[in-house]
Amino acid sequence: MDSTFVSDWSKFGMDKINDLIDVVKMTAPKLWEIYLRQVTIEGWLMFVVPIVFFVIGVILSIFTYRVGVRNQTNKYWRDSDGAFFGIALGFTIIAFLITVSIGINGLMQILNPEYYAIQSILGR
């Protein structure tokens, strides 16, 4: 093969690689900023949603206790009223455990989004 043919193709390839490097240099900071925002939003969701479920569980437990368990002397009280309280209390306990386990991770993701963005990019 002719050496000028190889060098022309090498020059063409290097020009394309340099063009690609320029594009990456321009877009990488913007993509990094977008990714950090996304990680922060995921952190807020991981922090807020379990708290909402926990609050719903507490309200449900209070309501079922006031309606069902406390009114056992009422002639309209049924055994199922106490069961509803047990279910609501169980939901509240489970929601609390989920809030603690997922909420802490969400809070860490909010406070340190760079670390979680790098972890996500690396696939960990």
CA–CA distance, 35 with 122 (Å, rounded to integer): 13
Question: What's the whole-number mean pLDDT along residues 91-120?
Answer: 89
What is the number of structural domains in the chain?
1
How is residue 76 annotated by DSSP? T
Question: What's the whole-number mean pLDDT along residues 82-86?
Answer: 74
Determine the pLDDT at residue 56.
87
CA–CA distance, 44 with 95 (Å, rounded to integer): 17
What's the chain's Rg over C-alpha atoms? 29
pTM of the model: 0.64
Q: What angle do CA 53, 57, 62 make, to 5 degrees?
A: 150
Give the residue with greater pLDDT, 105 vs 7. 105
Domain that holds residue 109: 3-122
Is 3 a residue whose pLDDT tops 60? no
Dump pLDDT digits (tens) for 28-77.
888 888 889 999 999 999 999 988 988 888 888 888 777 766 666 666 65
Determine the pLDDT at residue 112.
92
Pick the closest to residue 92 from 59, 48, 69 (CA basis).
Answer: 59
Residue type, 15: D
